[in-house]
Amino acid sequence: MGAAPGRCGAATGVLLRLGRSGTRASPRPSRHHRALQNNRDAKRTDVIPQHTVAVIGAGPAGIGAAVRLKQAGIDDFVIVERADEPGGSWRDNDYPGIGVDVPHFTYQYSFARNSNWSRIFPKGEEVKAYHCRVAEEHGLYPHLRFGVEIVKEEWDDATGYWRLHTAAGEEMTARYILSAVGAFINPKDDPGIPGFDTFAGKILRPTEWDHDYDLTGKRVGIIGTGASSVQITPAIAPEVGSLAVFQRTPVWCWPKPDFAIGPVLRTVLGRGATQSLLSGIALGLVEALTRLLVYTPPAIANRATALMDSGARAVYRGYLRTVVRDRDARRALTPRYGLLGKRPTLSNTFVQAFNRDNVELVDSAIEEITANGVRTADGRERELDALVVAVGYELFSDPESYRIGTVVGVDGFDLGEFYNTHRLQAYESVAVHGLPNRWILVGPYSWTGTGWHFMVESSARHAVRAICEASLRGCDVVEVTAEAQQRYHAKIQHQGRNIQHYFQVRNKGLRTYYVNSQGDMPYIRPTTALQSRRAASSYPFSDYSWRTVPLPVDESPSGVGLEGVR
């Protein structure tokens, strides 16, 4: 073969048409394959899709995948995005105080390290600008189609490609799909509280923040104490008249080592060696914690996590005593679940906001929302002018996020139906049997505790490696085998037994997005991050089936069928 298996690029200098608008390199095909390909080009234009690859979504995952395609020498791809610019969550969310809650050196692409961050924990606008700049510098804008929402993906087995149906009633075709819709798919508009539709005041959401609405002197309520609320609360507290934060479950909120980066430190942090060192340290810590949770014998792991939780609670209580004056507020802000039960947050201003005279922490359950405000279980109604609904998103780990009829594969295989009846699963978190030529960049059991960019780069590496191998083999259709998927899922379930114990036993009954409605934990991948990256580069090709779309006999050269091609 003219190139190593799994690689594609300009290794051989022979080009094979895989889409109407582009080519890519492949080893020299046989006479049989050349005749077959030429016959397709001449007589079967329907087997040539509009694009070799369609990337669905232009957030961090889509941008990372598109760059990976370019690095592999694949330039015939389209990126479809329902909004009018790239950026994903950083485009959709522009609420007051938004920013990353991990250090910048863990929240960037390995191929596009930024040497000019303004803070250790950058604000949202800067993070959005970073992703847009990466898209521009890597030449992705010519591939982007904005304002295109894909409502159905339908596999056409006769042609060996996907038909993508848009909300506008159009159709596009692509040989391969990289689904890059991300982890946080759609915001939950309705908090599921009785009377929500009757509220007569202003509704504000993290993804639809109305910056024209003046909060000055207003009576405001916030439903939720997750990551968005942790940032919104201290950001708006100084300008509102009163602020009631309705808390169902307290969140671990640790101090954030954040500060502006001056010129000298920017020079030091901007060096590749420094960023590699810091990223390596962060990755090492995550690797160590993952190994504790996954590979330690259950009895030892359970004891270790119990000690971790009790130690964290003691330290946290001491921390709250130093920053929150009111004893009742401190008690209400102290989590009664384990440190990892919900995603911990970082802020230097959230718990401190409850020292303000105009900020109230309400830990009595919400009974109903009225036209004038919110009534809680203690019988009190707080009148409000505005209500901030920060109750989270539909997640990639929720079976409800996969609508029935939106992704249909071989012989009518429906991804939504499959996940509802067989629970979430995917080979190496990216491929599903019954959905050929399709990979999920943020799929079941995919998060390894690292920054999202590390994860999506690994997923993209897996997918592009398969696409390149198909080119080397002269194949049209690549599909993970049912056996490989079942074997991998069984492995994941076994390796995740300590994680399952932590959530299902130690933190039983806790409402957390780590546990979905089926009682599973497909948010978390029970392997280390480095193991996931190695697997993406070395999974056995025998775990996939490879085939070429056959031609009808009467469309073969000389009309004698494929056996006539020599």
Give the pLDDT confidence of 107-160 residue by residue, as tens digits.
999 999 999 999 999 999 999 999 999 999 999 999 999 999 999 999 999 999
Tokens coding 400: 């409800």
Residue 375 vs residues 237, 248, 562: alpha-carbon distances, Å: 21, 14, 74
Does domain 14-186+395-554 match CATH 3.50.50.60?
A: yes
Residue 370 φ/ψ, nearest 5 degrees: -105, 180
pLDDT of residue 214: 98
Question: According to the model, what pLDDT value does residue 77 have?
Answer: 98
Q: For residue 46, what are the CA distances in angstroms to 43, 49, 158, 163?
A: 9, 7, 9, 12
Query: Model confidence over 229-268: pLDDT tens digits?
Result: 999 999 999 999 999 999 999 999 999 999 999 999 999 9
Q: Which amino acid is at 33?
A: H
CB 159 within 8 A of CB 549: yes
E strands, 333-415, are 345-346, 359-362, 366-369, 373-376, 381-383, 386-389, 393-395, 407-408
pLDDT at 120: 97
pLDDT at 558: 40
3-state percent helix, strand, coil for the chain, nearest multiple of 5: 40, 20, 40
**What are the structural domain ranges in the chain?**
14-186+395-554, 196-251+296-391
User: Encoding tokens for residue 258?
Assistant: 């954040």
CATH code that applies to domain 196-251+296-391: 3.50.50.60
CA distance 462 to 472: 16
What residue ranges of the chain have pLDDT lower than 70? 1-47, 551-566
The pLDDT, as a whole number, for residue 377 is: 97
CATH fold match for the domains 14-186+395-554 and 196-251+296-391: yes
